[in-house]
Amino acid sequence: MMEIRNIAIIAHVDHGKTTLVDKILHATKVFRDNQDTGELIMDSNDLERERGITIFSKNASVTYKDVKINVIDTPGHADFGGEVERVLKMADGVCLLVDAFEGPMPQTRFVLQKALQLNLKPIVIINKVDKPNCRPDEVHDAVFELFFNLDASEEQLDFPTFYGSGKNGWFNDSLTQIDNINPLLDGILKYVPAPKVNEGPVQMQITSLDYSSFLGRIAVGKVARGVLKENQPIALMQAGGVIKKSRVKELYVFEGMGKKRVTEVVAGDLCAVVGIEDFNIGDTIADAENPEALPVISVDEPTMNMLFSINNSPFYGKDGKFVTSRHLRDRLMKETEKNLALRVKEAEGGGDSFLVYGRGILHLGILIETMRREGYELTVGQPQVIVKDVDGVRSEPYESLVVDVPQEFASKVIDLVTRRKGEMHVMETKGEMQHLEFEIPSRGLIGLRTQMLTATTGEAVMAHRFIAYKPWKGQIPGRNNGVLIAKSTEKTTAYSIDKLQDRGTFFVDPGEEVYAGQIIAENIKPGDLIVNATEGKKLTNHRASGSDDASRIAPKTLMTLEECMEYIQQDECIEVTPNFIRMRKVILDENERSKVQKSMKTEAV
């Protein structure tokens, strides 16, 4: 029987996880020498390719010196922490990647903490040692300090360290540059323990799920005990003590980038099981005669929610395939099956709105973007943080925010964060950069990234992670400027936009269809303004000299979905369809809006 090693690759976002997996795949000859594989092979999803980030964890398997190594590539963003927590259950060791310049970052701390709690064997890899200003020795000390602060055991503190550059394809146990990553692969075989196998009837926890249009839903996990065979009758053990009888139809193990069908899988190996109906992540596949459940996977709670509703704008149904509340409900429920950190419940006052709870703006934004590409139409409201009562005190989520910025912009960053109720805890110089650490309410992060990039000419690198619930910090200032709202439903004209340009920055181009109540520009002043951007020029046979110059219109400001989510206020929402993202007022009719505003003012008095 072949020896097995299960490793997960964990790191802060952009520290080189997926690039390292590429190098492992190439070094172990998964591909032919002349095969064109491109880069970031594991980022197979369109959204991952566009954004350059990993969103879904993925498995690959390689063979090195007759040992099978199952590699799990994990996301680095805090918003996808639920994905990381879940898949670490399949690993016996972790490769912790740390950038040789940036050192440990907030997400490094988060993923390492989860790995240490599961008692996984860590291997530290200090990556990007070819970067200018890198400081591998200082970073090594910082990593040791991080392990110590996270209460690592004596054994975990005695971690092996490798240095290298994923991009240039070398890793070594010293800073001497070589031309391959074999020392690292040897280190994985030496330091990562073989899977612990207990005696007894079969047990496997479902930690991930796959989908195939031919085979349906596929359960993925690590066989913890016994042997799983094709056609074997099994008991599916679910939360709340529910036990369902089922049978394994087909079994697959991971090989290279794909899967290989087998007749049996021994304890310690990762596998994919076909033929089980109605399973959820966290369920246990157990022996049919003596079923025993494994502990359920617990995932940190969501910190933010948004209201998802059907699209009720005048352009309803023009663009998408799935537009009804039934479509929306089915899709959201399907998402909760595999997205553990997501919660969905029906909103008060009707079945066409749902409150969706997630880990952050990116987490919810990726869900909306995926649905939009699948042909859904929906409207989403302003992201709200989840407020709890902790010992009778109104509390809100707080995050640790880390910003690396050139020194000349440090004061601007501090000013921006403190205005949003952030408190600075650390300020130190790293090369030419200033390293700042803050504690800030999660509410304060909404809309902060865009402002910070503008204030620092795009130079700031910010990252954040959830710490804990703490007492409510009071009012945080929102958007300073009002918006310009379309007066009628028609196509915009260059003539009108030209006349209105000194009033604000436009989000629409001439010739675009708009509707009454749609937000078409940002006002240069506070307060909202209703404007007519659809008026055509009256043509007469009189010409005035000099007044008939061609319109000179600045191109529209393009806003991504996440930027729109951070931009809108309480009385606004976003209409999302396969081809358009439009911001609008929740109440489209101008008279209705003013009635509601008056009644709210009266209540406040």
DSSP state of 376: B
Q: Which amino acid is at 507?
A: F
Of 275, 304, 293, nearest in space to 203 by CA? 293
Contact 185, 24 (CB under 8 A): yes
Do the beta carbons of residue 94 and residue 29 sit within 8 Å?
no
Strands (E), 238-310: 243-247, 250-255, 258-262, 264-266, 270-274, 284-287, 304-309
Helix (H) or strand (E) holding 11: strand 3-11
d(CA 514, CA 319) in angstroms, rounded, equals 14
Beta carbons within 10 angstroms of residue 55's beta carbon: 18
Residue 244, helix vs strand vs coil = strand
Instruction: Establish whether 128 is an annotated binding residue.
Output: yes
Are 565 and 364 contacting, i.e. CB atoms less than 8 angstroms apart? yes
16 annotated ligand-binding residue: yes
- Does residue 35 sit in helix, strand or coil? coil
Find the helix or strand (DSSP H, E) in which 564 lies.
helix 561-567
DSSP bridge pairs for 220: 208, 272
E-state strands within 366-525: 378-380, 384-385, 388-390, 393-406, 423-430, 433-441, 461-471, 483-486, 490-491, 504-506, 513-514, 519-523
According to DSSP, the residues that pair with 10 across neighbouring strands are 96
Contact (Cβ atoms closer than 8 angstroms) between residue 506 and residue 473 = no
Reported residue count of the chain is: 605
- Report the C-alpha gap between 357 and 325 in whole angstroms: 18
Tokens 């909760």 correspond to what residue? 336
Question: How far is residue 158's CA from residue 154's CA, in Å, rounded to a whole number?
Answer: 6
Q: What are φ and ψ of residue 460, in 5° steps?
A: -75, 140
392 DSSP 8-state letter:
T
Question: 450 labelled as ligand-binding?
Answer: no
**Alpha-carbon separation of residue 368 from 328, 459, 561 (angstroms):** 11, 28, 8
Q: Is 29 annotated as a binding residue?
A: no
To the question of whether residue 429 is assigned a binding role by annotation, the answer is no
- The conformation of residue 343, written as its DSSP 8-state character, comes to E
527: left (phi over 0), alpha (psi -120 to 50) or beta: left
| Separation between Cα atoms, residue 539 and residue 548, nearest integer Å | 11
CA nearest to 84, candidates 126, 52, 120: 120
The token pair at 227 is: 């042997």
Is 130 annotated for ligand binding? yes
Is 389 labeled as ligand-binding? Answer: no
Query: Please, what's the b/e burial string for 465-494 (b: 16 or more CB within 10 A of its CB; e: otherwise)?
Result: bbeebeeebeeeeeeeebbbbbbebbebbb
Please report, in range form, the residues annotated as the binding site for GTP. 14-19, 127-130
Please report, in range form, the residues annotated as the binding site. 14-19, 127-130
